Structure 1
Amino acid sequence: MSPIYAAYAMLALAIMTEVTGSTFLVKSEGFTKLWPSVAVIVLFAIAFYLLSQVIKVIPLGVAYAIWAGVGIILTAAVGYFIFRQSLDIPAMIGIALIVSGVVVINMFSNSAGH
């Protein structure tokens, strides 16, 4: 596997662990529940470790934009589908703009490491 594909695979895993950690953040109830709190700390540590490996190959600005953008989208989806948190029209427009930004970076930027 080429380094760029490995970096994007690690980035995907970093995003998944960050979103899962955010989900446990809700379950920790302000860090008052032990095991969900431990899960938050472990999952965020893994996410940041993976991100630190990704930026060896993909520029920091691009990697972080993708990590944060996709993380926001997936976290909003978890909030909506799992926790039944509603999204209003401005929130949906904002998420659409984030998706657009991630697409532009990956499709058109030479900085993305393609």
Structure 2
Amino acid sequence: MPYKEPVIEKLYYTIGEVAKMFNVNTSLIRFWEKEFNIIKPHKNKKGNRLFTPQDVENFHLIYHLVKEKGMTLKGAEKKLKENKEDTIENFEVVKRLKDIKEMLIDIKEGM
């Protein structure tokens, strides 16, 4: 039986790792942290921000609303306050559709 490398889920991500995930500057991550109260990073003794996987999911949601849908920060904040569950559900549907599109493109290129 071959050895399988265990999948390790990170408990915390640094601000640099989060910025790299979204291909943005760390200053934008800090700005969004101040603007949106759903992001609450832990800070170590040095004051470095440590983001949880839930924070990263919230960044995905904010990135989708602001960068992909073109909403203003105030509009995105209002949408998250009024109906966060619907917003998350819509985001998950869009994410699944993108995955399906990517898979279909891969299949088409393989033919």
- What TM-score, normalized by structure 2, do the two folds share? 0.29
Relative to total residues, which structure has the larger helix share, 1 or 2?
1
Relative to total residues, which structure has the larger strand share, 1 or 2?
2
Higher relative contact order structure (alpha carbons within 8 Å, sequence separation ≥ 6) = 1
- What TM-score, normalized by structure 1, do the two folds share? 0.28
- The structure whose Rg is larger is 2
